Amino acid sequence: MRFLSLLLILVGSAFAQEVLAYPKVYWENSYKVWLIVAVVIYLVVAIPALYFMLKYRYKAGVHEEGEHIEGNTALEVVWTVIPIIIVLFLATYSFANFVKQRNAPENAMELKVVGFMWGWEFEYPNGKKVYAFFNPQNYTAPEEQKAYIPAGKPVKVILTSRDVIHSFFVLPAMVTEDAVPGRLTHLWFQINKPGEYYVLCREFCGTWHSHMFAVLKVVPEAEFNAWLSAGSSQQQTTQQ
């Protein structure tokens, strides 16, 4: 019971942090819990093993005979039941985190994203579009090529591709999904702190793959709504 109580305390402390982006925090929490459990199990096994190895090591000229032990039912029950409980805990906890990572919250804003060689097309619910692609003459993306996102609001991305397979990787949220021609895939993310962040292509797609990026400009929701409504009937485009 003490071991399980310790696990619950550690799980709770893993969530006690300032969250920059989702679903990154779910993967981090799962990793921390698995790492802690692995280290605890290693110590439980390794420390007694080292102790007995030193205590009962071979000594020249000393002959020792241990008593014959038939078995211990209680001990066998303990080392069977406790591992089962640990495995069930890890499985359910990890699956719960995976479900939260995979499924967007109900209030998520839907954003359509199309990958192309070598850039991204963002389409917002009101039809406004932003095209983000690499300009070899200017490594700093102009404002019209920045995809605005409201801070603290979940965004569900519907992905596809015009040509080859790309991978839409939201760097601060540590989440990625393939954009496949002729198919719709999806992911979601939420960035809580205003600022500028990057979306990269994580699937080798051609000559300029390494320059295929977009800038996410995360702003307060009021500022985002103002930007979204400004010129919403026009598509914002730039020439490469």
pLDDT of residue 236: 44
The Cα 90–Cα 58 span in angstroms is: 40
Question: φ and ψ at 169, to 5 degrees?
Answer: -115, 110
Give the residue-averaged pLDDT of 128-140: 74
Residues 61-98: pLDDT tens digits?
Answer: 777 676 777 778 888 898 899 999 999 999 999 999 99
The Cα 186–Cα 184 span in angstroms is: 7
State whether residue 135 is helix, strand or coil: strand
Residues 40-67: pLDDT tens digits?
Answer: 999 999 999 999 888 878 777 777 676 7
H or E stretch covering 51: helix 24-55
* CB contact at 8 A, 168 and 159: yes
